[in-house]
Amino acid sequence: MNRLKISIAMLLLVGGATAALAQRDPAYQAARAAGEVGEQPDGYLGVVGSASPAVRALVNNINIQRKAAYTQQSAASGATVEQFAFTSGCNLILKTAPGEKYKGPDGVWKTRTAAPPERDSRCI
């Protein structure tokens, strides 16, 4: 049980740090506000529809940073990278604001409303 609490605490720390770094980038903020990017259940940022090469490069860069953070923290927690990324995805989708895009458990891009987002049933 303590290992789970530690893993969740580390996940929140890593997810928050990665999100904080990305949020400092005005291009990321603009793409998010325009609905060009969104959070996915796998813990990575996705391109919604067709996007410019600049937006695709931005998403790739953020995802490289996320994978590095997930890899480091999963090794420390005893979880797999995929498990750590999935849990991050659950939390990142939960943190979306109304108007932002996220991918629902059915694989369809959705726009967050004031209601809680639809998340995978395995999210806690």
For every one of its 124 residues, what pLDDT tens digit does the chain have, with 9 covering 90 and above?
Answer: 334 444 454 444 555 555 555 557 899 999 999 999 999 999 999 999 998 999 999 999 999 999 999 999 998 888 899 999 999 999 999 999 999 999 999 999 999 999 999 999 999 8
Q: Is residue 88 part of a domain?
A: yes
Q: Is residue 69 part of a domain?
A: yes
What's the half-sphere exposure (Cβ side, CA atoms, 13 Å) at 99?
A: 6
Domain region containing 43: 2-108
Q: Is residue 11 part of a domain?
A: yes
Q: Is residue 121 part of a domain?
A: no
Rounded Cα distance, 71 and 75, in Å: 6
Q: Is residue 115 part of a domain?
A: no
Count how many domains the chain has.
1
